[in-house]
C-alpha cells in the first residue's frame, strides 16, 4: 500500500489544486494545516520544506528511489504527482507539451492575475484605512477577463484545457477559475468556459478536493484576528 503523502495545506485556490489531484489520483494523504492567517507559513520547520513561505507543499515518504522527498510550488507538485502515478500528465509527448503549456499559463497568468484581482477588489477595501484603488482594480479585473477569454476560445475546440483528455492543467486552472464572481467577471459571453466549469464541478474527486478544510474559509474572525491575518498575509516579510 502506498504510504500517505503529507500535504501542507490551507483552503485556497493553490491548495485546492493539490487536494483535487490527490483525490483524482487516489493517493492517500495526511493533512497538515498551514494557517496562513496566523503566520504558520513563516514557521522555521515549514520553511525547510517550502523556502518561499507559501503553501501548498508535500512530503512524499515514498519518493524517488524509495526515499522521502519534499516538493514546494503547486505546479511542481502537480507535475511530480503526474509522473509518480502516470496519470493526468499526458500519454504522449505532444499531450505532455499541451498539459505543460496550459499548466504554465495558469501558473504565470491566471493565478497571479486572479490573485491580484481578489486582493484589490476584496481585501484592500477592508483595510484600515480602506484601500480602494480604481486603477489597480480595473487593471487586474480586465486582465482576468482577457485570460478567461483566452481559455474560452481554447475550449471552443477542445473538451479540456490541454485537449480531449482531463489533466493536471484543468485541476490547476479550476481553483482560480471557479472564483470568477469574486473577480467580478461575467461568463454569459463565455459559453465554452461555462461548460468546462460545470464539467469539472460535477466530478466527485473535484468536489471532495474543494471540500477539504472548507469550514476554515467561513470561520468568523474577531477584529484582532482580522488585523493579525492582514499583517501575516499582506504585510510580513519572512
Q: Which residues pair with 33 in a beta bridge?
A: 9
196 in the same domain as 103: yes
Find all residues with CB under 8 Å of 131, minimum gap 6, and list them: 120, 124, 125
Residue with cell 515514498: 62
142 in the same domain as 195: yes
CATH number (domain holding residue 56): 3.40.30.10
CATH number (domain holding residue 187): 1.20.1050.10
Q: If we measure between CA atoms, which residue out of 20, 23, 9 comes closest to residue 72?
A: 9
pLDDT at 223 over 60: yes
The predicted-structure confidence for 27-48, as pLDDT tens digits, reads as follows: 999 999 999 999 999 999 999 9
Give a yes or no: residue 208 inside a domain.
Answer: no
Domain that holds residue 127: 93-202
CA 168 to chain centre: 11
81 in the same domain as 66: yes
Q: Where does the chain show beta strands of DSSP type E?
A: 5-9, 29-33, 57-60, 69-72
Give a yes or no: residue 109 inside a domain.
Answer: yes
The count of domains in the chain is 2
The predicted-structure confidence for 151-170, as pLDDT tens digits, reads as follows: 999 999 999 999 999 999 99
The predicted-structure confidence for 74-106, as pLDDT tens digits, reads as follows: 999 999 999 999 999 999 999 999 999 999 999
Spatial distance between the Cα atoms of 25 and 224, rounded to a whole number of angstroms? 40
The predicted-structure confidence for 171-185, as pLDDT tens digits, reads as follows: 999 999 999 999 999
Tell me if 58 sits within 8 A of 71, measured CB to CB. yes
147 in the same domain as 101: yes
Amino acid at each position: 500500500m502506498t504510504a500517505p503523502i503529507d500535504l501542507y495545506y490551507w483552503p485556497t485556490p493553490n491548495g485546492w489544486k493539490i487536494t483535487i489531484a490527490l483525490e483524482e489520483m487516489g493517493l492517500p494523504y495526511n493533512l497538515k494545516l498551514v494557517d496562513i492567517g496566523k503566520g504558520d507559513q513563516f514557521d522555521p520547520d515549514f520553511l525547510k520544506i517550502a523556502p518561499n513561505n507559501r503553501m501548498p507543499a508535500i512530503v512524499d515518504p515514498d519518493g524517488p528511489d524509495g526515499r522521502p522527498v519534499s516538493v514546494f510550488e503547486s505546479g511542481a507538485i502537480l507535475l511530480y504527482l503526474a509522473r509518480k502515478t502516470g496519470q493526468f500528465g499526458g500519454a504522449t509527448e505532444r499531450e505532455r507539451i499541451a498539459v505543460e503549456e496550459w499548466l504554465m499559463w495558469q501558473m504565470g497568468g491566471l493565478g497571479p492575475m486572479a490573485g491580484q484581482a481578489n486582493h484589490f477588489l476584496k481585501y484592500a477595501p477592508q483595510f484600515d484605512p480602506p484601500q480602494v484603488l480604481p486603477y489597480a482594480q480595473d487593471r487586474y479585473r480586465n486582465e482576468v477577463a482577457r485570460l478567461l477569454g483566452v481559455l474560452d476560445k481554447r475550449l471552443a475546440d477542445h473538451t479540456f484545457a490541454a485537449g480531449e483528455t482531463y489533466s493536471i492543467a484543468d485541476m490547476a486552472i479550476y481553483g482560480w477559475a471557479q472564483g470568477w464572481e469574486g473577480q467580478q467577471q461575467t461568463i454569459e459571453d463565455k459559453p465554452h468556459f461555462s461548460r468546462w466549469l460545470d464539467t469539472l464541478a460535477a466530478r466527485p474527486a473535484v468536489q471532495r478536493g474543494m471540500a477539504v478544510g472548507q469550514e476554515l474559509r467561513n470561520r468568523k474572525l474577531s477584529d484582532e484576528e482580522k488585523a493579525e491575518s492582514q499583517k501575516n498575509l499582506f504585510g510580513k516579510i519572512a
